[in-house]
Each structure stands twice: as C-alpha cells, then as structure tokens.
Chain A
Amino acid sequence: MMSRRRAIAVASPVPFVSASASAAWELNMTPGVTEVSQSVYSLHMTIFWICVIIGIVVFGVMFWSIFNHRKSKGAKPAQFHESTTVEIIWTVIPFLILIGMAIPATGTLVKMYDASEADMDIKITGYQWKWRYEYLNQDVNFFSNLATSQDQIYNRDDKGEHYLLEVDEPLVLPINQKIRFLVTSADVIHSWWVPSLAVKRDAIPGYVREAWTVIKEPGIYRGQCAELCGKDHGFMPVVVKAVPQEEYQEWLLAKQELARQEYELKNKQWTMEELVARGEKSYASNCAVCHQANGAGLPPTFPALAGSGIVKGPVEKHAEVVLHGVSGTAMQAFGAQLSEVDIAAIVTYERNAWGNKMGDMITPQQVAELKNK
C-alpha cells in the first residue's frame, strides 16, 4: 500500500505539487490551482475548525459528566431542568457564528456565479459514458473517452498509475485565461467535476448551464463524472491539461490541421480492409462499452451485434440505426457524434466481425448521402 502511495506522489505529473501536498490530498480536499478553489478550500477549513471547537466544548462537557457523574462514583442527581438564560445563550451564540461563516461563503458564491467577460468558451456535453469538448468558434471538437483497458478493470492486467482517471484525449486549456464552460448533456444528467478547479456543474439534457475557471498553474488535473448516469458512471473521467498560452496556440493549430485532414478523408476511396481496420478502433472506443468488444452485448438492455438481424440485413438500414439511434433506448444517434468516415468504418467492421461474414461495405460518401436524406 505504502509503495503505491509513494509511487503516485513521486510520479505526479504536476511538477508544482510537492510530495507533501500530494499526501494531504489523500485525506483532505485539494486547495486546487484557481483562486476560487483556494477560497473554497479556506471556507472548508474554517467551517471544519469551527466544528472541531464546538465539538471539543460539547463533548468535553459530556465526557466530564460520563466520568465524574456516575452513580458508581456515588454521584447524586441534581434536579435542575430548566434555564431560559442558557437556552437563549446557546441559541444566539451559534447563530452569530453562522452569520460569521455566511459572510465569506456569500462572497465566494457570488464570485463563482460571475461567468461574465470570459476569454474563451468551451461547450461540454455529457454522453453515456464520455465527454465531448467543443472549442466554440475554433472548429475544434472531440470526444474524451476512458483510456483504461478492460483488462485492467477486470484484473487481467496490472493497474496503471492513473487507473480510471486517464482519457484518450484530455481537454487542453491555456493558463491565466478566463474560460467559460457551457455544460449540457445529450442523454441523462451527468456532472462535470475537476476538484483542482473546484468546478462541478451538472450536465442537464436540454439545458445549458455555465461555470468558469482561471487556472493559475500548468499541470494535469483529473476528475470524474459526479452524477449517477447509468452503467458506466464510474468510467467517464475528466482530464484537463493546462498549458502556457503559446503551447495552447500550437496545440490548437495542430488540432485544426488534423480536423482538415479528417475532413479530406471523407473523399478518399476506401477499401474494405482499410475500413475494417479503422472500424475496429472506433468500435472499441464508441460502441464496445455497451455492445462489448466481442459483439455479444449485454442483453436485454444492450443487444448482441454478433448474428444480429440488423447487422446481417440491408446495409442502409444498418447504417441508419447507427446514424439516428433508436429512440426510447440507450442507442444514441451517432450521426451527431462521429464523422462519416468513422460511421462507415464501424458499420463495415460490424458487418464483417464476430462471424458476421457479410463481405460487404459502405463508403463515407454513401453515409453522407444517408445522413442528408
């Protein structure tokens, strides 16, 4: 146990967090890396010490009685049972303490609610069970999936250092910029939470809620979905990578370039082998959580795809189910989430995997036509 804990402290990806701060993180709330998270931390510690002091007084009196006013020690019971004065005292004093506490809490809350004059906007959408990040007006958007392997989760492989707290693509953010998050959901309620930023905002389908942050230090900050959202609620982490402004700009440009290339792929002539190869990967990150890597699904909620009537039926029908989802079930409309290339690849892969030897394919162009129909 000890060695594991030390390993985490030493290998901490955040060079600014000392080993002792990281050990404190084990027991207590993190002070975090924003002004807001630090005032939240100080509110937390203040109210904690207030409770400790009240506790010492109350339990002190109580244990004094427990030890000294025992019948076995010959204690004779007093008969007092009323005093309006003390009742008033112990109503008024706590009341005043609470007012003292409410004042700084109000200040911090007002600050947390002021999302105005942001430098940039990120739209965050919760999906069962992944996050989508859209850099508004920057033409960059992507999904962020759990990167921990099923083998680690099911104990067939050693667990890595960031077990369950690692993603395929983190949210990259610049430091010292006021970033506004617009949080929503595509299905059930999720909650986007990063402790180091003290941002926790429920993602509510059909509504957009705001939050904001200014990160003071570069680093990698990990969090998780905080609202029960179904089967894989425990498996949709949040990873934020905060970098200096220049590095962020470089990353953004590279990302935009990549998006352009992806877009070009749509017009390429794909062979079935290429589609199947790409489809296997996309299937693993988008479909396998429900339909399972071996296509067996988890009936009855998540049907099997191996031998499925739809997969072995006409290819257009199959692609339409993937594009538009099945309403009233957990099957989402992936047309809004994935590129035509990925949909074509996944459909082609499904038709030719796990003994579904259909031997046919669908091209990205055909998917685009179906989508616009």
Chain B
Amino acid sequence: MSAVLGADAHHHHGPAKGFKRWLFTTNHKDIGTMYLWFSFAMFLIGGTMALVIRAELFEPGMQIVHPEFFNQMTTMHGLIMVFGAVMPAFVGLANWLIPMMVGAPDMALPRMNNWSFWILPFAFAMLLSTLLMEGGGPNFGWTFYAPLSTTYAPASVNYFIFAVHMMGISSIMGAINVIATILNMRAPGMTLMKMPLFVWTWLITAFLLIAVMPVLAGAVTMMLMDINFGTSFFKAEGGGDPVLFQHVFWFFGHPEVYIMILPAFGVASQIIPTFSRKPLFGYPSMVYATASIAILSFVVWAHHMFTVGIPLAGELFFMYATMLIAVPTGVKVFNWVSTMFRGSLTFETPMLFAVAFVILFTIGGFSGLMLAIAPADFQYHDTYFVVAHFHYVLVPGAIFSIFAATYYWLPKWCGNMYDETLGKVHFWMSFIGLNMTFFPMHFVGLAGMPRRIPDYALQFADFNQISSVGAFVFGTTQLLFLFIVIKCIRGGKKATAQVWEGADGLEWTLPSPAPYHSFSEPPTVK
C-alpha cells in the first residue's frame, strides 16, 4: 500500500490530499509537523495536570482532589511531559531540520519514520485511558519504583507497561532513522566536523536512545513478569531486590535526562551565533563536550539513589562522576557566553528564549552540582529542591529551546513571519511565570518539604501560594503561543530565504516556505 503511495508521491512532487496525506505520508516535513502538533497537544494535557496539582497545593488542607487522584496526576504529568511532550518535540525538530541541514532529500528510512510517529497517538491514548479504569491510572510516580508499581499497583499497570513499550519502540525507530540519515545522506563536502551542532547533538542523542530505551523496556518487562507471572525480580520475599529496579530504571533514567537536553544544546548553538552575528565559539570543544556528557551519563545513575544505602565506595564513585559531569556542562555555557561576547546582538524572540535558556539552565546546573554532593543530598533528596532543580533544567532548558526553535524556523516552515510583539509577550510571560513557579520551590525544599505530597505543613504555605500563581501564569500563556503559531501559519509578512540577517546553514539556502521535496540534487558544501 505505502509502496504504491511512495511511487505516487514521486509523480506529483507534492502532498496527497486530505486525511490520507497525514496517515500515509513518508515526507519528513509532514512527519515533523505531526510530531510537533502531537507534542503540543501532550504539553497542554500534561500542563493541565500540573495545574490540578498546583491548584490543590495552593493552600494547606485538601481542597479539590483526593490523595489517590493527586498521585495519579503527578505520575501522569511526569510521564506525559517526558515521553509525550519533550521527546516527540525534539524528534519533530529532527525530522524537519536534519535533512535540510545536511543537504538530504528526506530521512533515510521514510516508511519507518511514518510508523514511529503513528505508534505514539495509540500509546498515549492507552496511557490516558487508564485514568478512567477501575482503580485509576498509574499512581506510583514517573519513576515507578517497585514494589509500589508492582505488588501494590492498580490493575491498570499492565496498560501502562504496554504503553511504555510502544513509546520505546517509537523512540528507537526514530533514533535509528536519525543515525542512518546523518551517517549516510550528508551532501558531498558536509564532513562530520562541518555539521551544524543541532545535527551533532541529535546524532549523540540518538545513540543514547538506542542504548537506554531497551533498558527501560527491560525494567517494565521485569515488572510485567513480577505482576503476572510469579517471578521475583523486585520482590524480597522471593529472593529479589526492590533496589534492583532503581538501578535498572536510573541506568535508563539518567541518560534519558540528557536525551531531553542535548538537542536543546544544539538548538541554542544554532540560534545564539545567528543573533550575535558571530560564529559559534569553540565548535570542536562543543562537540567533544557533548560527547563527554553523553559518555559520563552512563556512569552517574546512582546519584538518584544516594539514600538507598549503597556501599560507601559506590556512593563516592557516583558522587565524583556526577561532579565531573559539571565540567563539560560548564564548557558549553562558557562557549555560549563567549559567542555573545563582542558580537552584534539583537533580541528577536528566538534569541530571547535562547538567552533565557542559557541563564536558567545554568541555574539548574548549579542546583545539580549541589545535589551531586552526596552528604548534602541526604537533605535535598526527594524534596522540592530536586523538583526545582529538574524543572529549571527541563522547562527553561528543554521547553524554552523548543519554543526558541519554533520561532526561529517557523518562517522557514510556513513562509510567513510570526508576530514579533506577541512573541515577545509570550517570552516575558513565560519567563516570569516560570521563575515564579519554580524559584520558590528551592526554598520550600531546603526548608524540608518533601515532593509528591498532596498537602503540607503550614510553614510552607506562602511559597506554595506563589508557585501556584506562577504556574497559572505560565500555563495560560501557552495558549498565546498556540495563537501565535496559528496566526503565522495562516498569514503574515512574507519571509525571505535567509529569514535572519545572521543565519548561516543549508536550510537557509532553500526558499521560504521550504519546498515539499528539498535537495533532490545534493547541494555543494564549501
């Protein structure tokens, strides 16, 4: 079927009509678009859950939900944001941009590309449907520690496991596609060390995905066996060990957090030079730093487990390794700042998001460094301080970079400029909302408020109230983003091919909007 369509598409050199275009498409731009819309839908659903959480935490006492439902909200919020919003958004950007950046006509494996997208809506429909099942949806946290997620889990856990398997398959296929495209389809002259950093960071991310998604699949499969087939991987009474689960999970989990941030590093490394009108400082060291972060990310996992009681030698090893990861991370930040230094800066919306990314991500890196100090982590662990840390690296990190990328490349995608004033309003509202939400969490965390609790002691009330207000500011602002994007797609000032004065790279040599099939003839790279 799809073979016929593929041949068909070749004849017309344009998209098919109607619904079938999207269902059967093998075009990297169509698939990229679908990934991005899907991810935005998940962002709104996951965000709504966050607002339920923040509304309940607005003041002490139980007001709007029960503790069981609260736990389902925290769990689903985490799962949906990680697997539904951030990861698919980056795959969407990879689809749109990698072929255009390396001078290829499409992704290397277009049919697999179609499939890896279309698995996702089914996986998430299944995951979300558990909320309506008897006993409720997953309520054991996005880290789903056994035995809370096995012996003590609601019956819907099997659907959760199946959904995670599907997401994993989708991610692995996406990653294979990225690697195959980058390694085989670069235009003549596009050597590895000439590739844009977005391509580099995605190449490394794709290897991380292939390395760790199977580990996650292993973890959920062991859960499935423990729950349904009488094994005891994680059951002490049968000779297993609940802590084994944490080792396996975090062996996936820590590289996973870098999966969510490396492509963001790539985005910032594209945007900052453009609006500084100056080449990226230290390109080779950026590549090496990214690679070292990726390699180190395999040997730091137990920093999430400092309080479980691993032996002293292990504790020390993981503390040193985690501290070490701050070095290449620092190098990246220094390079971005040096790129801006003595440039000729302008602050269009993509640049605003990129600069905020550097500042706020660095703050998240600082709290990461604090968390790396194992003895201090005994006080920080599982408090709101950790919640503040990872939201600082993920929201102004991953999410802001996705916003920045959208504003930066949207004119190339749809041929129109977005509304700059509204873009700036979106930025400032998001910036204020985000800091209001997450900065006070550092304080309540240090003052002793555990994470994942539906109600709290009175001394935490003031800061929680500020957080909740901030969350609603941030959340509602994202509807403005939706409006801006739709408005831009429907019309606006026509974009030039280069779009931005300082932009450099193959994608800017194509007309705006980029044609349905680009680089059928490989471009030459100087």
A interface list, Cβ under 8 A from B = 1, 4-5, 8, 25-30, 36, 39-40, 43-44, 47-48, 51, 54-55, 58-59, 61-62, 64-66, 69-72, 75-83, 86-87, 90-91, 94-95, 98, 101-102, 105-106, 108-110, 112-113, 128, 152-155, 159, 161-165, 187-189, 191, 193, 195, 198-202, 204-207, 209-210, 223-235, 298, 300-301, 328, 330
Partner of B135, one of A188, A200, A300: A300
Q: How far is the CB of A13 from chain B (nearest CB, A)?
A: 14
Q: Is B344 a contact partner of A75 (Cβ separation < 8 A)?
A: yes
Q: Which of B134, B448, B458 contacts A4 (CB 8 A)?
A: B458
Task: Please give the distance in Å from B64's CB to the nearest CB on chain A.
Answer: 11
Contact B236 A86 (CB under 8 A): no
Give A71's nearest chain B residue, CB to CB. Answer: B344
**Contact (Cβ within 8 A) B375 A39:** yes
Q: Report B194 CB to chain A, min CB distance, Å.
A: 14
Closest CB pairs A-B (n = 5)? A206-B236, A234-B453, A209-B309, A51-B366, A81-B279
> If A44-B370, A66-B340, A328-B151 touch, does A199 touch B375 (CB 8 Å cutoff)?
no
Smallest CB separation, A308 vs chain B (Å): 18
Contact between chains at B277 and A40 (CB < 8 Å)? no
Residue in B closest to A302 when the chains form the complex, CB atoms: B68
A200:B154 contact, CB within 8 angstroms = no
26 chain-A/chain-B pairs, Cβ below 8 angstroms:
A1-B462, A40-B378, A44-B376, A58-B334, A62-B355, A65-B341, A75-B345, A77-B278, A86-B338, A94-B326, A109-B312, A155-B62, A163-B458, A201-B309, A202-B307, A204-B309, A206-B242, A226-B307, A226-B383, A228-B71, A228-B451, A230-B139, A231-B67, A233-B452, A233-B453, A234-B67
Tell me, rounded to whole Å, the shortest Cβ–Cβ distance linking A176 to chain B.
Answer: 22
A40-B379, A98-B323, A110-B312 known; A27-B447 Cβ under 8 A:
yes
Residues from chain A with a CB closer than 8 A to the CB of B279 are 79, 81
**B278 touching A207, Cβ below 8 Å:** no
B271-308 CB mask vs A (1 if < 8 Å, else 0) is 00000111111111100000000000000000000011
In the assembled complex, which residues on chain A have CB atoms less than 8 Å from the CB atom of B214? none
> A205 contacts which chain B residues (CB < 8 A)?
147, 236, 242
Per-residue interface assignment for chain B, residues 431 to 446, with 1 indicating a CB less than 8 Å from any chain A CB and 0 otherwise = 0000000000001001
Q: Among B316, B341, B369, B382, which residue has its beta carbon within 8 angstroms of that of A69? A: B341
| Residue numbers in A under 8 Å from B68 (CB-CB) | 231, 298, 301
Contacts of B327 in A (CB 8 A): 91, 94-95, 98
Docked pose: A298 CA to B135 CA in angstroms = 10
Judge if B189 is at the interface, Cβ distance under 8 Å.
no
Taken together as a complex, chains A and B put the C-alpha atoms of A237 and B154 apart, in Å, by: 25
- The smallest C-beta distance from A347 to any residue of chain B, in angstroms, reads 25
Closest Cβ neighbor of B455 among chain A residues = A234
Contact of A229 among B148, B343, B443, B456 (CB under 8 A): B148
User: With A8-B459, A91-B327, A206-B241 given, can you name 15 additional A-B contacts, CB distance below 8 Å?
Assistant: A4-B461, A40-B375, A44-B379, A62-B337, A64-B341, A77-B342, A81-B282, A91-B331, A101-B323, A153-B455, A188-B148, A193-B450, A200-B381, A224-B450, A230-B148
Residues of B within 8 A of A108 (CB): 375
Docked-complex contact B281 and A81, CB < 8 angstroms: yes
With a cutoff of 8 Å between Cβ atoms, the chain A residues found around residue B140 in the complex are: 228
**Minimum C-beta distance from B110 to chain A (A):** 36
Q: Are A163 and B148 in contact (CB under 8 A)?
A: no
Residues of B within 8 A of A58 (CB): 333-334, 337, 362
Question: A328: shortest Cβ distance to chain B, in Å?
Answer: 7
Q: Find out whether the CB atom of B152 lies under 8 angstroms from the CB atom of A230.
A: yes
Contact A71 B346 (CB under 8 A): yes
Most buried by B among A82, A298, A330: A82
* A contact residues around B320 at 8 Å (CB): 102
The answer to whether A234 touches B373, judged by C-beta atoms less than 8 angstroms apart, is no
Whole-angstrom distance from the CB of B65 to the nearest CB of chain A? 12
Chain A min CB distance to B228 (Å): 12
A101 touches B373 (CB 8 A): yes
Q: Is the CB of B243 within 8 A of A204?
A: yes
CB neighbours (8 Å) of A91 from chain B are 327, 331
- The answer to whether B63 has its CB under 8 Å from any CB of chain A is yes
Residue of A nearest to B235 (CB): A206
Q: How far is the CA of A128 from the CA of B151 in the complex (A)?
A: 13
When chains A and B are docked, how far (Å) is the Cα of A28 from the Cα of B135?
A: 39
Nearest B residue (CB) for A70: B345
CB pair A105–B282 under 8 Å, yes or no, is: no
Does B521 make an interface contact (CB < 8 A)? no
The answer to whether B491 has its CB under 8 Å from any CB of chain A is: no
- Say whether, besides A105-B375, A202-B307, A61 and B337 are in contact (CB < 8 Å): yes
Within 8 A of A (CB), among B310-347: 312, 315-316, 319-320, 323-324, 326-327, 330-331, 333-334, 337-346
Complex-state Cα separation, A155 to B60, whole angstroms: 9
Query: Contact between A227 and B382 (Cβ–Cβ < 8 Å)?
Result: yes
In the complex where A55-B366, A202-B309 touch, is A164 in contact with B456 (Cβ < 8 A)?
yes
**Chain B residues numbered 155-201 whose CB sits less than 8 Å from any CB in chain A:** none
Return A157 CB to nearest CB of chain B, in Å.
10
| Contact across chains for B369 and A47 when beta carbons are under 8 A apart | yes
Decide if A65 touches B337 in the complex (CB within 8 Å).
yes
